[in-house]
Chains A and B, each alone.
Chain A
Amino acid sequence: QKEVEQDPGPLSVPEGAIVSLNCTYSNSAFQYFMWYRQYSRKGPELLMYTYSSGNKEDGRFTAQVDKSSKYISLFIRDSQPSDSATYLCAMRGTGNQFYFGTGTSLTVIP
């Protein structure tokens, strides 16, 4: 079983739609949860981060962590064509190593 599972998509939505991206994980020691956005042929950039369970909102983005279910989500409201990218979830415990999902490819159609 992989440490982190993420549906690779691709996901295609119309502009203005609400997008839901999800990851599940198996290691209960994970404490730090991140979402990265990666445009084609570029390195990932940190989008959102949360510690332990709970919600965090930043503009049109909301990150949720449910540690009891080992499930994290990223919601994008009022999606824009510029949101078209691959979204990677990442998590870590107390060590340095990150564990990444495979990434979900999102296309927002104008």
Chain B
Amino acid sequence: GAVVSQHPSWVICKSGTSVKIECRSLDFQATTMFWYRQFPKQSLMLMATSNEGSKATYEQGVEKDKFLINHASLTLSTLTVTSAHPEDSSFYICSAREVDRLYGYTFGSGTRLTVV
């Protein structure tokens, strides 16, 4: 089945630094990938939709200059949290959809970001 690899699985960084999270579709091509954020005991909140070869579409309230998304190939999307602050600490999850797979948005394993 479709596999989405997300790296790193956890990261600790200092305030003010930037962190890059990678999301790869391993055995299929994904023209569209999604980035979610999840706080403890809360649901997944869509941050942005990443389209291969074009600019990402951000949800209302998500700062595009802070959360930089690059989808340079059909198998890779990256999320860079710039100038991270403690309030950016969260669980970030990507997902990707295989073409013609109506239900199957495969999720990555998530990245636990802690900003100290």
Taking a contact as CB atoms closer than 8 A, the residue among B32, B41, B102, B109 that contacts A43 in the complex is B109
Determine, out of B11-19, B43-51, B62-70, B79-87, the stretch whose residues face the partner at the interface. B43-51
Interface size of A by CB at 8 A reads: 23
Does A101 lie within 8 Å of B107, measured CB to CB? no
Does A44 lie within 8 Å of B103, measured CB to CB? no
Does A8 lie within 8 Å of B49, measured CB to CB? no
Within 8 Å of chain B (Cβ to Cβ): is A71? no
Q: Which residues on the B side are within 8 Å of A96 (C-beta)? A: 32, 34, 49, 97
- Measuring CB to CB, which residues of chain A are less than 8 angstroms from any residue of chain B? 4, 6, 8, 32, 34, 36, 41-46, 49, 51, 88, 96-98, 100-103, 105
Q: Which residues on the A side are within 8 Å of B107 (C-beta)? A: 36, 43-45
Does B43 lie within 8 Å of A100, measured CB to CB? yes
Does A32 lie within 8 Å of B93, measured CB to CB? no
Does A41 lie within 8 Å of B112, measured CB to CB? yes
Q: If A49-B103, A96-B97, A102-B41 touch, does A42 touch B46 (CB 8 Å cutoff)?
A: no
Q: Which residues on the B side are within 8 Å of A41 (C-beta)? A: 91, 110, 112
Does A8 lie within 8 Å of B109, measured CB to CB? no
